[in-house]
Amino acid sequence: MQTIIEIPEVVPSLLELDQARQTLYLNTVGEYSHITSQPWSSININQSVTVYINNISAGTAPPVLSADGTEVVPPRFAVETHKYFQAGTNAAVYLAVTQPDGSPNPNSKNTKTLTFPVVADSLSDELKIDITEGAAGYSDQRPSLLPANVAVIRGPANMELEALSGGAVRFQDVGGAESCIFSFDENGRCPLVLIRIDSLRASGVLAAVPDSISLVRRGETDVLIKKPVVFGDYIPATGDAALAFNSVSCNTIGIADGQTICIVSIVMKNPALNDKLYIKLDAGLKLADRTFSNRQDADTDLNLPSTMIVNGMAEFGVTADSPGTYSVGAFPQSQTAAYLTNSIEFRSLSGGALS
């Protein structure tokens, strides 16, 4: 009976493996993938070699003579790519050598195993998504307010991709649709405004589906990258703020790039109130010149910026250049003792700039 001898010098290699990232990208591989190794010290043509992929035998063959007949070289296995490698898994490849006479190898130890992740598309490693957090959902009861999270997506300059929503997430840039075709600018950047439709949650239609955003190549279904989207709710005002304010939605996590807006959406206690809302910002914060629902109405009274309260509602946006936790305050002109304050933690973009 033949004995499988595991020889330590047998180190498998996958020719299609991306050596820089030690990853197999299925979109760069043909119908077959090729596995071989460097010669081991005791190699001879009377041995046989079996390749195992995730502990499943994928073929057996003997070592062969080189083309010039001067040396014995390991066999080269062609295995069906999509039979043995599935995206989103890790693969383990090893080679076992069988000696015809069953004699043990004096250097016998565990053979080397090549392990690597299998990914559907090489583009995945070039994409990054950072998303602000904490915005409440959109409701027909507050039609003039549009709390939102913003996804800052980075990838290859000028490339066009498609974004898909999960759960109650919708893309404000395309009128609240479930998908959005977008292009990166010349710097490899594209912001997308994400809103949550509360009526979808309340109806139970999507209550159990996690909120998320996924990217795919246009017209395809293989997900390149997927990220959760973290929304919040309107928070009731407390203390002195409750004298004039009913509730507020405010992003809790922002992106410190000087461009990405965090939205503060305010519901006043008096639903018929038309007044001026003064805004007080920590040093390092800037008032955005717009929100996603309307334009800012900037004013310099009291050396503070302001916006208008219309029908008991107000909204403004802020940005920050540097990471840190900042305070955002507001009070109505007619009731200065009612002071509302919220904190936003601004974070740097993940992984820095893309190369």
pLDDT at 354: 46
Backbone angles phi, psi at 245, to 5 degrees: -105, 140
CATH code assigned at 56: 2.60.40.10
Helices (H), the chain: 81-84, 198-202
Q: What is the pLDDT of residues 145-173, one digit of tens each?
A: 999 999 999 999 999 999 999 999 999 99
- 127 and 79 both lie in a single domain: no
Q: How far apart are the first and last CA of the chain?
A: 56
Within a domain: residue 152? yes
Q: Is the pLDDT of residue 316 over 80?
A: yes
Adjacent-strand bridge partners of 50 = 60, 96
pLDDT at 81: 97
Mean pLDDT of 218-239: 94
Q: 3-class SS at 81?
A: helix
- 156 and 96 both lie in a single domain: no
Q: Is the pLDDT of residue 24 over 50?
A: yes
Q: Which domain holds residue 322?
A: 234-349
- 66 and 25 both lie in a single domain: yes
C-alpha angle 180-157-191 in degrees, rounded to nearest 5: 40
Within a domain: residue 354? no
Residues 6+ apart with CB under 8 A from 154: 127, 128, 129, 184, 188, 189, 190, 349, 353, 354
C-alpha angle 100-106-108 in degrees, rounded to nearest 5: 80
- 191 and 266 both lie in a single domain: no
Q: What is the pLDDT of residues 33-91, one digit of tens each?
A: 999 999 988 899 999 899 999 999 999 999 999 989 899 999 999 999 999 999 989 99
Q: Is the pLDDT of residue 204 over 80?
A: no
Adjacent-strand bridge partners of 152 = 130, 191
CA distance readout (Å), 346 to 261, 285, 289, 327, 329: 11, 10, 19, 11, 16
pLDDT at 206: 56
Residues 6+ apart with CB under 8 A from 208: none
Residue 232: both structure tokens together: 């919040």
- 138 and 158 both lie in a single domain: yes
- 239 and 311 both lie in a single domain: yes
Last residue in a domain, options 176, 200, 230: 230
Within a domain: residue 344? yes
Q: What is the dihedral of CA 163, 165, 166, 169, to 10 degrees?
A: 140
| Cβ-based neighbour number of residue 203 at 10 Å | 11
CB 147 within 8 A of CB 198: no
Domain count, the chain: 3
- 267 and 238 both lie in a single domain: yes
Within a domain: residue 216? yes
- 218 and 260 both lie in a single domain: no
Radius of gyration (C-alpha) of the chain in whole angstroms: 30
Within a domain: residue 129? yes
Last residue in a domain, options 120, 137, 159: 120
Residue 171 DSSP symbol: E
With CA atoms as reference, report the closest residue to 321 among 256, 253, 260: 256
- The position carrying tokens 């071989």 is 36
CA distance readout (Å), 242 to 232, 237, 238, 341: 20, 5, 5, 11
- 92 and 150 both lie in a single domain: no
- 150 and 219 both lie in a single domain: yes
Q: Is the pLDDT of residue 218 over 50?
A: yes
CATH code assigned at 195: 2.60.40
Last residue in a domain, options 64, 99, 120: 120
Within a domain: residue 17? yes
- 175 and 75 both lie in a single domain: no
Q: 3-class SS at 173?
A: helix
Residue 310 DSSP symbol: B
Q: What is the pLDDT of residues 83-136, one digit of tens each?
A: 999 998 999 999 988 887 765 555 545 578 999 999 989 999 899 999 999 999
- 114 and 125 both lie in a single domain: no
Within a domain: residue 355? no
Ramachandran bin of 188, using left for φ above 0, alpha for ψ from -120 to 50, beta for the remaining angles:
left
